[in-house]
Structure 1
Amino acid sequence: MPLVAIQPSYGNPIARRHWRDTLDQEVPFGSEEYAATLSGEQRDALLRIHPTESARFWGATSVQDKNMARLRMGDVVLFTGQNLVRGIGEVGLTFRNAEFADAMWTPDPDKGSWRNVYSLLSFRHTEIPYSEIWDLPSFNAGDNFMGLRVLEGDKADEILQGLGIGTVTEARRKLARDAEVANAIATGTRVVPVEGVHTSTAAYRRDEREIQVLRAEALLVNEYKATLTGVEVTRLRTPSGITDLHVTGPDGTEVIEAKSSGDHIHVRAALAQLLDYAPHSPLPADRLSALFPVRPAAKDITLLHRYGIDCLYRLTPHTFERIVAPDEARMYMRKIWAGVGIS
């Protein structure tokens, strides 16, 4: 699982100048100005993953040596400032080189060179409010993410799931896994365990460089959440993942899963996730609901209703319609949702 670094990067004039120079644009590290500052090993490693001889870069001073030593290719960085996640990047090559760093950024008068350097395999500008992170189970409202913070384990996973982040490295890993399994089956050989599949170190194509940040579901959830009154609305972390919404009120407890499309594959995914999350609700779920931006096809609504799951969809801006599952289906399924009698 990738680590996630939360990197303040826009809160003062110096940081904004660094942003303009090495995030808003790529640095031509193959040019004479920069190439002379790189060791042969560093230049070769950069060329392997950035064959165009240019890349975006960020860095940190020696104060962050320990944190920076933890980052590896494929880890994720949230670049923050002024109450927003302003950009999301995927770590490429990490290395320590004060001369190269000083060619890009003027050393800090107190802390010195930004010598802990990393390139970015992919980068995307965003405007995600901190409140979307605060809504996640392991984070606190009002946290302004001062100072570099490196997250691992559940906290890192919450960020990746909660903000809908998918890395180029992870996509490549999945493709590599698919290719290995297909080849093993075709040749009649043993399938290699998943831990035996290693990420390719081949050059990244330019069209691979934008990290995926899926915003449709988050925006849909926020719009629906704004329509709720008189209830407690949270996100619940379960062993199976993070719910989009966990609602508790006078009518009981409801688990809601949102999808960016109402087509069949998304309906099936919502169904599977709801059934996976439901047994982990602190209070037995009284209702499971799948939330979509449009009304799904009749056959897909019937599929949800078969398992006692309501269908919620966006009718007009800020207005949602609920198609309620039959009471008998819901009552029958509630024991199954709760895992009652299932060992």
Structure 2
Amino acid sequence: MPLVVIQPSYGNPAARRHWKDTLDIPVDFTTDPRADLLTPDQRKQLNEFHPSGAARFWGATSAQDKQMERLSPGDIVLFTGKNHVRGIGEIGVLFRNAPFANSMWSADPKKGSWHNVYSLLSFIPVQIHYQEIWALPGFNTGDNFMGLRILNAEKAATILDGLGIESQVDTEHDRNLHEPVARALRTHTDIVDGEALHTPTTQYALKERELVVHRTEALLLQEYTQSLGIEQPKRLRTPAGITDLHLPSPDGSEVVEAKRDSTRRFVREALAQLLDYASHTPGPATRLTALFPTRPTDQGLALLHRYGIDCVYRTHPLTFERAAAPEKTRTGMMLFWQQGQPG
């Protein structure tokens, strides 16, 4: 799994100038005199990762030398400032080169050159308020993410899942797991065992691509919680994953799973996830709710109701309608939901 870096990058005028110069637009690294400032190896790596001859760049001063040495191609960077994540990128080439850095950014008067340079394989501007991160398990309300920070493995997984970030490393790893099975089935040969499939022996080359950040569910959930008057929504980490919304109540709790579409595929995904979350929900879980941007088909509603799951869907801006499962069915299914529940 890739590392995740919190990178302050927009909080002061100098940072915003850097943003404008090397994140808003790609930088040509092949023309004189900038190309002459690169070592042959640095030039070779940049050409391999960015065959167009241009890339977006960011950097860090010597105060972050040890932190930067931990990073690798494919790691995820959240560029932050003014209470928002303002951009998300995947690291390409990393190197240390003060003259090249100084050709892009003026050295800091106190900290010196931004000589820890890294290119970005992908970059997408976003507007994600810190409140979305604070709602995730393990993060603290009011944390303004001061200073470069590399998240631990648990928090990295939480933020990638919670913000809907699809990393290239994970995508390629999944593909590497699937390909041996598909090849064996096509050729009618033996399928290797699970342990072998999980050994990352297949190599692949990272490449420039459009970064995938799934925001529809988050925006839908924001509007739904706003309609309920919830100022600080909370999510729950379970062994089955992170819930989209957890609403405790005196007699139990409600778990909400949001989906970006209401077609049968997403209805079935919501059903499976809610049933998985339910057995791990403290409280216990007394209501499971699937949230959609539009009303599912009658067949989709019937499928959810068969398992006692409510459906909530958007009808107008800030207006949602609940199609509740029959009370008798929901009550009867609660014992099934709660099997194996903690406590």
Partner of 1:195: 199
Q: Is the 8 A contact 1:231 1:247 kept in 2?
A: no
1:43 aligns with 2:65: no
Structure 1 CA distance, aligned partners of 2:316 and 2:32?
A: 57
Q: 1:182 to 1:328 in 2, by over 3 A?
A: same
Q: Is the 8 A contact 2:30 2:53 kept in 1?
A: yes
Q: How far has the Cα of 1:251 moved from its partner?
A: 5.9
Structure 1 CA distance, aligned partners of 2:214 and 2:101?
A: 32
* Structure 1 moving runs of 4+ over 6 Å: none
Q: How far has the Cα of 1:131 moved from its partner?
A: 1.0
Q: How far has the Cα of 1:168 moved from its partner?
A: 3.0
Q: After superposition, what is the alpha-carbon deviation per residue over 1:217-242, rounded to whole angstroms, capped at 9, x for unaligned?
A: 11111111112258984211112211
User: Which range moved further: 155-164 or 173-182?
Assistant: 173-182
AA aligned to 2:338 is A
Q: Is the 8 A contact 2:173 2:200 kept in 1?
A: no
Q: How far has the Cα of 1:269 moved from its partner?
A: 0.8
Partner of 2:91: 91
Q: How far has the Cα of 1:143 moved from its partner?
A: 1.1
Cα-Cα RMSD: 2.0
Question: 5+ unaligned residues in a row in structure 2: which ranges?
Answer: none
Q: How far has the Cα of 1:181 moved from its partner?
A: 2.5
Q: 1:124 to 1:252 in 2, by over 3 A?
A: same
AA aligned to 1:53 is G
User: Which range moved further: 170-179 or 39-48?
Assistant: 170-179
Structure 2 CA distance, aligned partners of 1:81 and 1:70?
A: 23
Secondary structure in structure 2 of the residue aligned to 1:104: coil
Structure 2 CA distance, aligned partners of 1:304 and 1:177?
A: 31
AA aligned to 1:256 is V
Q: How far has the Cα of 1:175 moved from its partner?
A: 3.1
Q: How far has the Cα of 1:165 moved from its partner?
A: 0.8
User: How many residues of Structure 1 are paired with residues of Structure 2 in the alignment?
Assistant: 338
Q: How far has the Cα of 1:285 moved from its partner?
A: 0.5
- Give the % identical residues: 55
Structure 1 CA distance, aligned partners of 2:316 and 2:341?
A: 42
TM-score (norm 2): 0.93
Structure 1 CA distance, aligned partners of 2:231 and 2:214?
A: 27
Q: Is the 8 A contact 1:287 1:310 kept in 2?
A: yes
Partner of 1:22: 22
Partner of 2:321: 321
Secondary structure in structure 1 of the residue aligned to 2:227: coil
Q: After superposition, what is the alpha-carbon deviation per residue over 1:91-139, rounded to whole angstroms, capped at 9, x for unaligned?
A: 1111222222122112212111111111101000111111111111211
Question: 5+ unaligned residues in a row in structure 1: which ranges?
Answer: none
AA aligned to 1:293 is P
Q: Following superposition of structure 1 onto structure 2, how do residues 229-240 of structure 1 map, counting pairs within 5 Å? A: 229=229, 233-240=233-240
Q: How far has the Cα of 1:178 moved from its partner?
A: 2.9
Q: Is the 8 A contact 1:122 1:168 kept in 2?
A: no
Q: How far has the Cα of 1:8 moved from its partner?
A: 0.5
Q: Following superposition of structure 1 onto structure 2, how do residues 215-226 of structure 1 map, counting pairs within 5 Å? A: 215-226=215-226
Structure 2 CA distance, aligned partners of 1:69 and 1:279?
A: 41
Q: Is the 8 A contact 2:280 2:341 kept in 1?
A: no
Partner of 2:179: 179
Q: Is the 8 A contact 1:232 1:248 kept in 2?
A: no
Q: Following superposition of structure 1 onto structure 2, how do residues 1-343 of structure 1 map, counting pairs within 5 Å? A: 1-187=1-187, 188-191=189-192, 192-198=196-202, 200-201=204-205, 204=207, 208=209, 210-229=210-229, 233-250=233-250, 252-340=252-340
Structure 2 CA distance, aligned partners of 1:259 and 1:193?
A: 30
Q: 1:252 to 1:51 in 2, by over 3 A?
A: same
Q: Is the 8 A contact 1:255 1:287 kept in 2?
A: yes
AA aligned to 2:198 is V
Q: Is the 8 A contact 1:97 1:117 kept in 2?
A: yes
Q: How far has the Cα of 1:179 moved from its partner?
A: 2.9
User: Which range moved further: 327-336 or 269-278?
Assistant: 327-336
